[in-house]
Amino acid sequence: MENTAETDALWMEGIKKDSYISYNNLFVRYYQPLCQFVYGVTASRPDAEDIVQELFLHLWHHRKNIEITGSVSGYLYKMAKNRTLNHIRKETSYKMLLERLETTPYDEEEHPMEAYEFRTALYDCMNRLPARSREILLLDRMKGLKQKEIAERLSISLKTVKNQIWMSLQKLKLCLEHKGI
């Protein structure tokens, strides 16, 4: 009978030595259970899959520097928990920022010069965004596409769309603040 903890430890040793077979074995053993674990918190299959995939990518990219003092299983579940909490924090601050931007009243007719200055500053800040980020933000804000539609149109994950919009809004906010607006 196989000892899972010993096998996991051997696979981690292999991963540190660039063994893709060991990496794949660990992935196959833990991908579904970790997705179930994350899904239990997020209640979103796509988010759970994204989080676990990113966890395994991180594991591979940092394989040389990872030091596991306990069980590999415990390490992976702790990584999943931390990544899930970070995801929830990002989602919460993203939603709060959107609500703040969408509920800020402004009457352009009352202040036409300020509106012109704001639009000029906004376009300048938009042009400073990376092309892909700008495209995603414009599809979301100007075209009114749903984030899922944007993901499908651009052949990227929904999480990438959400992250790009959030980061773009953060950059726009900072840029506008820098311009005194």
Highest mean pLDDT among 18-27, 111-120, 139-148: 18-27
Q: Determine the Cα–Cα distance for residues 109 and 140; give it in Å rounded to an integer.
A: 25
Q: What is the pLDDT of residue 1?
A: 45
Given this model, what pLDDT does residue 93 score? 64
pLDDT at residue 109 is higher than 70: no
Q: Stretch 98-124: mean pLDDT, rounded?
A: 64
Report pTM. Answer: 0.54
**Quick one: three-class SS letters along the chain?**
CCCHHHHHHHHHHHHHCCCHHHHHHHHHHHHHHHHHHHHHHHCCHHHHHHHHHHHHHHHHHCCCCCCCCCCHHHHHHHHHHHHHHHHHHHHHHHHHHHHHHHCCCCCCCCCHHHHHHHHHHHHHHHHCCCHHHHHHHHHHHCCCCCHHHHHHHHCCCHHHHHHHHHHHHHHHHHHHHHCCC
Tens-digit pLDDT profile for residues 15-55: 999 999 999 999 999 999 999 999 888 888 888 999 999 99
Question: In this predicted model, what pLDDT tens digit does every residue of 72-106 receive, in sequence order?
Answer: 999 999 999 999 888 887 776 666 656 665 555 55
Separation CA 176–CA 181 (nearest Å): 5
Distance CA 164, CA 156 (A): 11
pLDDT digit string (tens) for 152-174?
999 999 899 988 888 888 888 88
Q: How many residues does the chain have?
A: 181
